[in-house]
Structure 1
Amino acid sequence: MINIAIVEDEEEYSNQIKKYLERYEKEHGEKFYVTVFQDGDEIAIGYSAKYHIILMDIHMQFMDGMKAAEQIREVDAEVIIIFITNMTQYAIRGYQVNAFDYVLKPIEYFPFSSSLERAIGRIKNRVQRYITIPIKGGTVKLDVSDIYYIESQRNKLVYFTKSGEYITTATLKDTEEKFNGLGFCRANKGCLVNLEHVDSIINGCACVQGNNIPLSRTRKNIFMEELTDFVGRD
């Protein structure tokens, strides 16, 4: 089930969006749980990161959509925000809160459903993928998205992750095969990088979570091609 919030102070548009969501459910076999808020402050104050998609008006009486989105982003970087507006000039400001899309008023079903379909596609691509690795004293289960990179060190592999570092016994070659198709690429002979966490490429290095990982001469072009392809999927 996809959890959706509607933030709209005009009942006419709020009801229209609900009807469009019901139509989309029937046409695409999706299931939505919908919560309606009448102003930006209602969702932003004490916000709980439980929504997959927020459909939000920009002009509201107490807290406008942009301000609400700024507060939401402080605690939830993942929720998809789609603005509902009749003012196209807000597009630039929307980049500051990582807005996914805009749907213009008066709302028509085709552009609305098209935007919703792309948003749902992104949500489904975020499905958590886990891998279990043996470590000293037991095993650890890791979400693949939380792995920054894997480095070979003296016949051991060190997993650098969101929750810390984990050491296991394995070869980088076998590990690379295990991560095939999951968005990882060899940066050099001794390092496998999660392309999701590459912030930039500077001076022949991939910057990952503040660490500069050298790209070997033989791997640089392949790495750049795979990074470009990975970014283009989003």
Structure 2
Amino acid sequence: MIRIAVVEDEELYAGQLQNYISKYAEERKKQIKVTWFQDGEDIVSGYKGEYDIILLDIQMRFMDGMTAAEKIRELDSEVVLMFITNMIQYAVRGYEVDAMDYVVKPVEYFAFSQKLDKAIGRIQKKTEVFLKVPVEDGVKKLNVAEILYIESVGHNVIYRMESGKYLSRTALKELEATMKPYGFFRCGKGFLVNMKRVDGISGSDCIIEGERVPVSRSRKKEFMELLIQYMDEG
């Protein structure tokens, strides 16, 4: 199932785009779910990162498409963005938010279908795994491969990434089963470590990107066996 959001304040154009997407889905034998938002504010509010492609009108009444795209990019680096505009000069700014393309009004079906081919092709090529994490501002998509470790802090966890830290109200115990298939190991009471990112061990700590993470005595043997396995694979 491909999920597409249409953010367009003009009902005529919104209806046209939805009809085009339905026609495209029938021709290409694709399952596509479309959600319509009438303003940038509507999609940004409570954004949960559930869309694969977002079509954004640049000029809207309350929040323009460019501003909405900037806010979406803060939480979701992977969704494919395409702008809808009758003023091409504005579309050029799309590079600032890593937009894939733009659609010029009035929209013609053939050109639109070609752009959808490109967008869906980009989605299907992705092999990276992303985790949707509830954060203070909404939901953020984290690349699992870039998570160094997850630390329990009270009733929250901290995701330690290459790019920084993200606090989320989640129990570490609940994450243990979720993260295990991606190479994460519970090395102690308060830590899940990405075994693929461990550089080595020093005393009772493992070393990840120069940081020390404690390994409990009861789990050290299993940790060492896993570490040797991942080093052999790498």
TM-score class, shorter: 0.5 to 0.7
Matches within 5 A, 1:132-151: 140-142=180-182
Looking at structure 2, the residues matched to 151 and 116 of structure 1 have their Cα atoms a distance apart, in angstroms, of: 40
Q: Which runs of 5+ in 1 are unaligned?
A: 132-138, 177-234
Residue equivalent to 2:227: 168
Q: Is the Cα contact below 8 Å between 2:56 and 2:82 reproduced in 1?
A: yes
Compare the two structures and name the one with the higher helix fraction.
Answer: 2
Tell me the number of residue pairs that the alignment of Structure 1 and Structure 2 aligns. Answer: 163
TM-score under structure 1 normalisation? Answer: 0.59
Identity of aligned residues (%): 46
Q: Is the Cα contact below 8 Å between 1:149 and 1:160 reproduced in 2?
A: no
Residue equivalent to 1:69: 69
Q: Is the Cα contact below 8 Å between 2:5 and 2:54 reproduced in 1?
A: yes
Residue equivalent to 2:162: none
Q: Which runs of 5+ in 2 are unaligned?
A: 130-143, 146-178, 184-193, 214-222
Matches within 5 A, 1:163-202: 168-170=227-229, 175=233
| Distance change (3 Å), C-alpha of 1:152 and 1:121 | same
Measured on the aligned residues, the alpha-carbon RMSD in Å equals 3.4
Q: CA deviation at 1:63?
A: 0.8
Question: How far does the alpha carbon of each residue in 1:150-194 deviate from its partner, in whole angstroms, 9 at most, with x for none?
Answer: 68869xxx9969xx998522486x636xxxxxxxxxxxxxxxxxx
Matches within 5 A, 1:1-234: 1-128=1-128, 140-142=180-182, 168-170=227-229, 175=233
Looking at structure 2, the residues matched to 79 and 128 of structure 1 have their Cα atoms a distance apart, in angstroms, of: 13
Partner amino acid, structure 2, of 1:29: K
Partner amino acid, structure 2, of 1:10: E
Q: CA deviation at 1:64?
A: 0.5
Looking at structure 2, the residues matched to 54 and 81 of structure 1 have their Cα atoms a distance apart, in angstroms, of: 5
